[in-house]
Structure 1
């Protein structure tokens, strides 16, 4: 997956969150991303779970969908691979 920092993403409900939400990637890890959840995206129950992290959550990359400002899904940008010598 070719997600990058500052990409806006959508996350469907997960084991931890019973509601879907939008957010912005702040850091990429090998198989996950640190996402800043947009205000008012989660119910009080979910907000309590992430309050101490300043609305930041770690989500598996496979659970994120790249979206535009209107929330419409975007095609994932192709990753350019360098040829081996």
Structure 2
């Protein structure tokens, strides 16, 4: 866009399905350097119980400090689960 200010490098980048049918995915820059093979972290919106029933395990439940729960898939990859908006 002509005349638009450039996006700051530390802002998240949304990936949106133009048809509005797919999930919203955010690419969020982090200050730490890559230290392991893959550094991909997914956040999802939904209930935790179906994920736990599918094999995930709860690492930290939503509490007064965080507005999401932290789960891990069967291979130990962590992801955050945000409650659906009412």
Q: Tell me which interval the TM-score lies in, with the shorter structure as reference length.
A: under 0.3
Q: Which one has more relative contact order, counting CA pairs under 8 Å at least 6 apart?
A: 1
Higher-helix-fraction structure: 1
Give the TM-score normalised by the residue count of structure 1: 0.24
Q: Which has the larger radius of gyration?
A: 2
